[in-house]
Each structure stands twice: as C-alpha cells, then as structure tokens.
Chains A and B, each alone.
Chain A
Amino acid sequence: MKQRLWFIFIVLVLTISTVILTVSVVSAQGPTPTADDVNAIAKQLYCPVCENTPLDVCETQACAQWRELIRQQLADGWTEEQIKQYFVDNYGARVLSEPPRTGLNWLVYLVPPVIILAGAVILFRALRAWNKPAAVETEAGPGSASEADESDEYIARLEEELRTRD
C-alpha cells in the first residue's frame, strides 16, 4: 500500500513538472521572436522613406527602427495582421508590398491581365489574318491554272502572229 502511494506521488510530481515545463517553454517563445519571425512580416512591408526597398533588406536607421518595432509588437503578442494594420494606419497603405484591393488599387490587379488578354486576342487575329492570304492563294489554285492557260494561249497567238509576219 505504501509503495502504491509512493508510485502515485511520483507520477503526480512528474505530471505537474511536465506541465509546468511545457507552459514555461511555450510562454518563453512569446517574448523572444527570432529575426526570421520579424523578417517574415518585414518582407511584406516597404520602407516608407526609401523608394522600392523591402523592409527586411533595408539598411537605413529608420528601417532598423521599424524592424525593432515589429519585434516588440510580436513579443507583445500582436498578430501579423495587427502589425500590418498598425503600419498602414501610421505610414499609409503604400508601405504594403501588396496594395489592398480597394478603390483605384484594383487597377493594379485588373490592368495587367486585361492587357495580356487583349494582346493575345490581337496576336491571334493578326496570325489568322496572315494565314488567310495563303489559304486564298491555295484556294485560288485552279484560277492560277486558267491564268497559265490564258498565258499559254497568248504566247501561242503571239508566236502565230510572228510566224505570219515572217
């Protein structure tokens, strides 16, 4: 009986220790986001003061400050969406690498496919137009034969004329 109590006691201690350790490990991940965690969000944002430079590779002091801000926000438990929204609210939608699908921004998504589609249609029509004359020529084969006949007839008449003159 005493042995059984000891066994239960040891199992309980082990279980509680495991739970405490697991919780402490999980909570330890929160305050120390890695550089990869920061860059995963930073690469979706652009430096607001330097043209066309993603935040994860930007070397300016301003960008270093913003990356530090992302790190701090991750440590505080902010989600990716919350961080991106914070940047949009503070620095404008132009910091997003992918413009939000609203208003005139739709042009960014609609114009290129429409132009590609229009180009494909124009190319298709042009190719068809180029093929047509060849087809017509092929179809016009018998006509060409009659032309040759006419030409032969003309030459024969011409030769006949020359013979009579001689």
Chain B
Amino acid sequence: MTENTPETTAPKRDMPLWVQIIVWVALIALLVILGIGLMRNQQGTVQAGDRIYDFSLTLFDDYTYEGKSPVTLSDLRGKIVVINFWASWCTTCKQEAAELEAAWQYYQPGGEVVFLGVDYVDTEPEALAYLEEFGITYPNGPDMGTRISQAFRIQGVPETYFLDREGVLQYVQIGPFTSIDQIQSIVDSLLAE
C-alpha cells in the first residue's frame, strides 16, 4: 500500500525579528506605564515616616510668613509644620477652620510651630472670602498646578499633615478636626519629642 501524505500546508512566514522585538518592547513599556499609573492610584496618601519633598508655597496677597512669601518647606526645618489642605467649596473644611485658627493663635507666640494653609483647586475671590469669613491669619496660598497636593497624594479636602522638626511626616488627619484639643494633642506630642 502506498502512503498518501500530500503536502498541503503553506510555508510558514514569520515576522522579521526586528519587528517582533519592537512589538514586544512597546507592549511591555505600555504595560509598565499602566502598572505604574495603577500603583500610584492605589497608593493612598503619603504615610507617617515618609520624608516630604521640598516645596514652595506662594502666599495670597496680604499673607506672609516672617515677612516672606513664598514659604519654602526646607526653611522651616527645626519647627513643627502643620499643613492643612482646604478649599472654599469644601463644606467640611468650614467645620475645622475656627479650630485651626485658634490652634495657630495658641502656638504662634512660641515660634516653634508653623501652620500652612494650602488652597486646593479653588478660585481666588472665593478663597479670600473664606479666609476673611473665618479670620484665618496663618500663612495661606494656592496650590498652583496641584503640585503640592499631588506630592502628598491627597484623596480630598480637608486633610492635615503634621511634620516633625526633621521634616518627617508623623501624623495624617483625613477629614476635619472636631476640636482644638485634637490638634493640640498631636502638636504637643511632636513638641515633646
């Protein structure tokens, strides 16, 4: 008997090697970028123990710190720094505005604690009206280009970050403070270190 094995399969033509390399490299690069993006989204805010990158906050007109504007974080080394993110459209920010100002008034004479208000995606006239309404006197300025809030990876407003004398983040408050005691207990613990 004869064995019938007709050659009906077409000759296999692979893509050139350089095309394959480009396709795989592009695919892997795309996946890496997507992965980094997803990781950043899921990271949450900066955590206690993180060193905060240096930034400068240009203050609103009529606001200065020790006669200067902008305020640079690295210039505040050696002091406890309280950074509060807020916005005039944020209703819960209003709940803590008076407490923050009262705490600032309490610590300002000692010169060991600095409060910084960072106005997050806001419009200037409404922001200034808010500051006037609550009589806020500690240094405040807009977060231009949301660079500072992105560095802190804030999830919303209000959020408050407490840095020790070395510029290391020690405590994060998500949401508004309910009393001045709450602020004082955190600041006092940092002053005692």
Interface residues of A (CB under 8 A from B): 48-49, 60-62, 65-66, 68-69, 88-92, 94, 104, 107, 111, 114, 118, 129, 132-133, 136-137, 140, 143, 147, 150, 154
Contacts and interface: CB of A to CB of B under 8 A. Distances in A.
B8 to A, nearest CB: 5
Contact of A68 (B6, B87, B123, B147): B123
A136 B4 contact: no
A138 to B, nearest CB: 11
Contacts of A147: 4, 6
Nearest to B1: A154
Interface in B49-94: 87-89
A132 B123 contact: no
A69 B123 contact: yes
Interface string B121-145: 1110010000000000000001011
A154 B4 CA distance: 13
Ranked 9 nearest A-B pairs via Cβ? A62-B89, A132-B10, A48-B121, A61-B89, A92-B146, A65-B123, A92-B145, A69-B123, A136-B8
Contact of A65 (B126, B146, B150): B126
- Grouping DSSP codes into helix (H, G, I), strand (E, B) and loop, the A interface class, with mixed when no group exceeds half, is helix
A137 B33 contact: no
Contact of A90 (B1, B9, B87, B145): B145
B146 A107 contact: no
Contacts, number: 57
Interface residues of B, number: 24
24 contacts: A48-B121, A49-B89, A60-B89, A62-B121, A65-B89, A66-B123, A88-B145, A90-B142, A90-B145, A91-B145, A92-B146, A92-B147, A104-B33, A111-B30, A114-B26, A129-B10, A132-B10, A133-B10, A136-B8, A136-B9, A140-B6, A150-B2, A150-B4, A154-B1
A49 B145 contact: no
Given A65-B88, A90-B145, A92-B150, 8 more contacts: A65-B89, A65-B126, A66-B123, A90-B144, A91-B121, A111-B30, A129-B10, A140-B6
Contacts of A90: 121, 142, 144-145
B152 to A, nearest CB: 14
B51 to A, nearest CB: 24
Contacts of B6: 140, 143, 147
B125 to A, nearest CB: 8
B159 to A, nearest CB: 13
B88 A48 contact: no
Nearest to B8: A136
Contacts of B4: 147, 150
A95 to B, nearest CB: 9
A68 B123 CA distance: 9
Contacts of B146: 48, 91-92, 94
B186 interface: no
Contact of A133 (B1, B8, B123, B142): B8
